Each structure stands twice: as C-alpha cells, then as structure tokens.
Structure 1
Amino acid sequence: MTHIKKKPETLASIVLKYQELLRLPQSSGSINLKKHYFKVFALIRPTISSSTYQVKFEYQGGRIPQVWVCGLLSKGTSSSEIPHKFSVDEKKNQVHICLFRTKYSEFDSQSSLSKNIIPWTCEWLHFYELYLITGNWYGNGEHPNGKKRKTEN
C-alpha cells in the first residue's frame, strides 16, 4: 500500500485561517508566524434566541484546531456537568469542546475553518443550550470517553 505524504502547511494557509476567524463578530487575535501559531477570541451566538459566548480558537500549523468556550463555569455549571468535552481548565474558566474525532480524519490542515470548525462550534453551543434545558445531549456522535451517543427522540 502506498502512502501519500502530505505537504507541510504553508504560512499563507495559516494566515488565511487566521483571517477567516477575524471575520467573526467582535473578534481579536494574535499570530506568531515564526511558530506557525495563532489565537483568536470571538463572540458567537448560535441562534437568535441564544446567549452569546466567548470562544477561543487556537491553531498550530499542521495540527487540529483547539476550540475553547470561555465562561461556562461562571454560569453556575460545574465542570462534570458539561458534556461532549475534551477537558476543562477551571483556572481559566474555559472548556475544550469536542467538535470531531481526529481518528476519523474529519479535519486536516487543508480544511477551511469557516466550512467546518465555525459551524461545528455553533452547533455545539446550540446542543449545549438544549442540554441545559432537557438534560439530553442531542449532538449525537462519539464522545471523547469513547462512548457512542444516540440522538434522543
């Protein structure tokens, strides 16, 4: 079996991803081209009747984006109550949310953030709000602990 070797991600590609995120409402960020890294904070409101959330996007060239929702713990939710997450940084009051599983190659460095990461973040926030109301996670998919979840009917 022949394996195709992927080309390293170019600086231009990293800058384009950074610019995509800066188009989000009330966004700000910083980029370090030497390290092929950027961080962007943006406010996201998943639906017209939703709350607005501060989201931090971190990206290291050639790797998967890390998406953190800031401030969830200060809304009275304990870290153990937040579903579909990779981790919680209680000191920084941020939750590393699970948008996809790397083992399924749903994202690679050639992917556009505006076509997957941003919409998936909005979906996660919407499902989180439904979870707060119903106690059920409607996002489906596989959770970081390896268990498959079914959509509730």
Structure 2
Amino acid sequence: MKGSGRNQDLTLSQQLLFLKANPAIGGGGTVRANKLTWQVPIQPTALARSYLATVTYRPGQMPDVQIDDPDLELLADGRPLPHVYRDPLRLCLYLPRTREWEARKRIDQTVIPWTYLWLYYFEDWLWSDDWKGEGRHPADEPEHVGSRALRRAVVRS
C-alpha cells in the first residue's frame, strides 16, 4: 500500500475484497492487468427499472462507471444526458480534484452508492426533464481567469 499511517491507498485486491464482502453490494468482478472491474445490477427504487453498471478502476486514476444496460441515450429519447462524460459515456458522480474520491476510500462505500443516487435522479429526470441531483459538471466551470480579483469580478457579473 502506498502512503503512510491511516491514509494509505487501498490496493485493487483490497477494493475487490470490500466489494465482495459488502452485503449491500451485489454483482461480481475481477482484478486483472492492474485493473479492477466490477459489474453490479442496480435498481435505484422499487419502482425503477434495473440497470447493469460496470465500475472500472486503475491505480492512479479515478473510478469510472458505465451503464451497460439499458442504453441511457435511448432512454433519453434524443435529449442530452445530464451529468455524464463522453467518449466513452460514463457517469459524472463527483467533482474531480475535490477529494470526494481518493484512493484510500472504498468503492463499495462511495462509488456504488453514488451510482444508485445518480440513477435515482436519472429516473426522475426521464419523467420530469429536470435534473434534481444538483452538483456541478466540470464542463460547467468558468474558464480560469488569472488574478483572484479578476475572477471575483467575473463571477459577480
């Protein structure tokens, strides 16, 4: 494990063991070629459809979540999907560089519950056309302005 003390990064094998041992998490996965892959069926509410999600994680990167089934774009019926990354299509679950996700955190206690929550809001959005999940998408951030005073002036205008 990298780091020291209580803030050590979890290894891929540790992440896999936590996923397997968590009674609230279904699915299954493997660690191969320095990559963790976990497939999990998710039904965000009793009345919602079931989704098949795949979490992939490599050390030094952020975990990615893709929905394998059903096709989110088909469900959106031509509307642009909220809070996703493209190429390939992945869920936007947290803001990078905010420490919401760190390699010392457990995927079963962070990324998987965030996926349930994202799909809950997605189901609501399909019906209402209003994303109630809040959050900010990195593409929505204003361009970086050099000086702090100038940044404040831009935000106020």
- State TM-score, norm by structure 1: 0.75
1:16 aligns with 2:14: yes
Q: How does 1:87-126 map to 2 (within 5 A)?
A: 87=86, 89=88, 95-126=89-120
Q: How does 1:49-128 map to 2 (within 5 A)?
A: 49-70=47-68, 71-73=70-72, 75-78=74-77, 81-87=80-86, 89=88, 95-128=89-122
RMSD (CA atoms): 2.6
Q: In structure 2, how many angstroms separate the alpha carbons of the residues matched to 1:136 and 1:15?
A: 39
Percentage of pairs with the same residue: 22
Give the number of equivalent residue pairs.
134
Structure 1 gaps, min length 5: 1-5, 90-94, 149-153
* Partner of residue 39, structure 1: 37
Structure 2 gaps, min length 5: 143-157
Alpha-carbon contact 2:76-2:126 (below 8 Å) kept: no
* Partner of residue 29, structure 2: 29
What SS class does the counterpart of residue 138 from structure 2 fall into? coil
Shift of residue 73, structure 1, vs aligned partner: 4.2
Shift of residue 29, structure 1, vs aligned partner: 2.2
Shift of residue 63, structure 1, vs aligned partner: 2.0
* Partner of residue 92, structure 1: none
1:20–1:72: structure 2 CA closer, same or farther, 3 Å change rule?
farther
Shift of residue 145, structure 1, vs aligned partner: 1.6
What SS class does the counterpart of residue 86 from structure 2 fall into? strand
- State TM-score, norm by structure 2: 0.73
Alpha-carbon contact 1:84-1:144 (below 8 Å) kept: no
What SS class does the counterpart of residue 102 from structure 1 fall into? coil
